[in-house]
Amino acid sequence: MCPVLLALMCPVVNGSALLPLHDAAIDLHPIVLLPGNGCSQLDAELTEHYEPSPWAPASCSGAAAAGKGKGRRRWFRLWKNSTALGDPAVALCYADQLRVVYDRAVADYRNIARVWTRVVSFGTTRGFGSDDDPSDPER
């Protein structure tokens, strides 16, 4: 795991709380993704009913959306997607697909509607390696 991420997740430093990030009655913890060699890769798949958030540009919908094309769904690299991170034209689409929402009913976070995610090679160290093809069945 990323060393900085571990430090951010630590609730107490030298006996005092870092910051009051949440209401004392609800114990919420932010999800922080940091680019680097020590973070897991995430794949995503958009369903045929995926609609971007109202703040995302119109180019994020339809076949232009990452992971959608030629009438069928497909898995694509969501994190760390160096192309999307470096292209301002798709950065808002990428941010919309990567975001999570808090579900008060179950007191947990979930993906936005119609975006499925998976951790690459979950339970192994392969997901920490270099970028590979998300459609490869051997991962």
Cis peptide before 70 (omega within 30 of 0): no
Number of domains comprising the chain: 1
21-57 pLDDT per residue, tens: 445 566 767 666 655 555 677 788 888 888 888 887 7
- Domain-located, residue 136: no
pLDDT band for 115, please (50, 70, 90 cuts).
confident
Task: With respect to residue 133, please indicate whether it lies within any of the assigned structural domains.
Answer: no
- Structural domain contains residue 24: no
> At a CB cut-off of 8 Å and minimum separation 6, what does 50 contact?
61, 65, 68, 114, 115
In a domain, 58, yes or no: yes
Tokens 């009438």 locate to: 71
Q: Does a structural domain hold residue 6? A: no
User: Nearest-CA neighbor of 34 among 2, 81, 10?
Assistant: 2
DSSP 67-133: TEETTEE--EEEET-HHHHH-TTTHHHHHHHH-EEEETTTTEEEEPTTEEEEETTTTSSGGGSS---
* Residue 16 falls inside a structural domain: no
pTM beyond 0.75: the answer is: no
Residue numbers of the domain that contains 124: 41-128
